[in-house]
Structure 1
Amino acid sequence: MFIQKENLETLEAIGLLAAELDVLPSDFSYTGIKDKKAITFQPMVVKKVTPERLKEIGNKMEKKGMRIYNIRSTYQHLRLGQLKGNHFDIIVRDLQKHSHDPSADLKKRISEAMENVETKGFVNYYGPQRFGQGQIVQTDQIGLALLSEKMVEAVKLFFTPEDTDDPVNNAKRYFLQTEDAKGTLVMLPEFKVREKMLLRALNRYGVNHEGCTKGWLNIPHSLRIFYVHAYCSKIWNEAASYRLKIYGLKAVEGDLVLSEENDESISLNDKVHVVTASEESARKYSIYQVVLPMVGHSIKYPSNKVGEWYHERLSKDELEMCKFRVSPLQLNIPGCYRLILKNVQNLSYFLEGGEKGIKIEDNHLNDLKVSLHISFDLDPSCYATVCLREIMKCDF
């Protein structure tokens, strides 16, 4: 089936579907997490449910921000990352000139920005939604606590409320004040499946190290490892910024480059090559071939200042001896490699001014409220928010 959702996280959508279908969130498989603040489409597979049952709940799900399409039987589940890429259609409304560039020609600036990102690409950062942007506690903080096997701390971070007065945050606030898992279960809305799974174990085993460990084990593996991956992603982002700051846009001695060899019998580390001094002098590799490791137990680090930076950064979080295996939670983090720069594909755009459909004349462009319509494709695990930030040269 295909799920269209709006103003819902993928995991929230799965929680709503699971509650309605009387199955577990772990019965669902999908290829990736889609943004909350967007209208998104993605394939999904659910076990133990007939196509007829899915069709029955269609109207009810529409009222909750979801539509279900293309319902059919299948004999294969989906895996995270099992996709060729993502397509994005984005509208940026009420374009404004940068305050430091008020006299610029808007159309010219937009054209330059599009040409720049199309020819040079963008830094392949993990986007802010990976970390729960705007939340008091971000997902990478929970991931660090789990890697450190601080189970109680991870639970309390997970239940840290936002500064809003609503049923979910009131329930979280109550739990932190009382550690009353049973009472909190009653207060939480039905669709908060993750929280309820954790609380059921806490109610049974207590809010202690053992109880919190069992609580984390009570939620699906894909959700447990999501938090650890968020921490690893944060370290990667910081490493990319450091690497570009000290060495710039060229491949240097000690950098890592990844072979494009598709032979599956060759291990990932055997595909990683360390750039030599002579290769740097000969400019054998470009910055577009340089990768940085996502921390884990089976990766190589660059043999230059960037490698030293990784070790110092992990020491700062008291993870210098971390084996990146959390046995009590059945978490295994081998690590991987990620290109520093990425290119956008099939980029197109047009401008629209005033009322929808009005053609913009060049000489009136700067006097109108202008919307920019952008369409492009990105490889898996690349973030449209990061590409858009490169185009607009601002954070949002």
Structure 2
Amino acid sequence: MPLAIYVFSLCTFAFGLSEFVVAGLVSAMADDLSSSVAAVGAAIAAYALGAAIGAPLLTAALASWHDRSLMLLTVAALGVGSLLLASVEQVLTLHLVRFGTGLAHGVFMAVAASVAVKLVAPAQAGRALSVVWMGLTVSLALGVPLGTLLGSFWSWRVIFVALALLGCLSLIGLLRWMPVQAGAVAAQPGAGLSGLRAVLLRPLLSVAVVSMLVSVAVFSFFSYVSPYLLEVSQAGPRLLSAGMLLFGACTIAGNLVGGYAGDRFAINRCLLLALLMLVVTLMLLYVFRQSPWAVLGLVGVLGAVFFAIVTLSTLRLLNLAKSVAPLASGVASGLNIAAFNLGTALGGGLGGLLIGQLGLAWLPLAGVGAGLLAIAVLLSQTPADVPYEAETQR
């Protein structure tokens, strides 16, 4: 595996930490900025909105740029944005900087996934993607809990200074190990216009819908996993912390399994199996809702299945893009990232609505419904993915 791909993983770790660490620092930031928890918490949504816009639209608009230049620019934006956050004094400024950093996040994730599969042999594409996403999963499993701990006992501003330094390190890594020729495919006449058109291509959008529904299914439950464990399952704070750590750790395993399966087996079949496992897991979370240890284990399974689907769906969209939008593979990857971010927001809203109408205990069933709908959409589609080996023989 080229060293550049491991550098991409370091970059995704930095971006993942930038996105998620605020969730653990909301209270400390609200006290320091003399603002409400709700106002500071909205900075999470501002970042997700930027990522959802940046991933498909900004990536499409900049499709004529060299991939290397785009990745350097977005990592530099992460570093600058982190320094600005470390010195911010007003909530409005906080939201604006978070939105801008989210734009950079979306573009980087889209381009990095696209470039990773170009740098390896077709039979290693899934594993290359899993290495790229590894940084994101490690940020969830280790980076966010550690950053939350340090930010709570020291200063939340120090965390963003550290992120700026991490961004600088990532920038040096890209300059040193990313091949200059990696951007040759993207930098063609008409690539920008082709990229913008690709956002509206029905085959790509239909595949992205599955990703969105998966995210709705997961986050309609996981957005409220804390009150679910504490109030429905009657778990204590320690078990809740264990659940969060287990979810993050299992995302690493799921990511690796998804990459391996995508290289060895038909992607549509793997994705269908993963979706069935997702539905079963959410159903069991409802059935065993009053058993804290069972819910704890199922939260871990949920993290593994979710990130296996993330890797498989990204590989599936990149496969399809090779046929319908060869100049816009980064846009295809970006659509997937945007779909997951949009699904995260919709899932949180759906979960909140369900809590208000029926109560916390019914949360997993909302995910079951979204998961079944994702399966129906997948089965209604013409098989969009062809094994890389078969594509190579064409």
Please say whether Structure 1 and Structure 2 have the same fold, judged by a TM-score greater than 0.5: no
Higher relative contact order (CA 8 A, sep 6+): 2
| TM-score (norm. length: structure 1) | 0.28
The structure that has the greater radius of gyration is 1
| TM-score (norm. length: structure 2) | 0.29
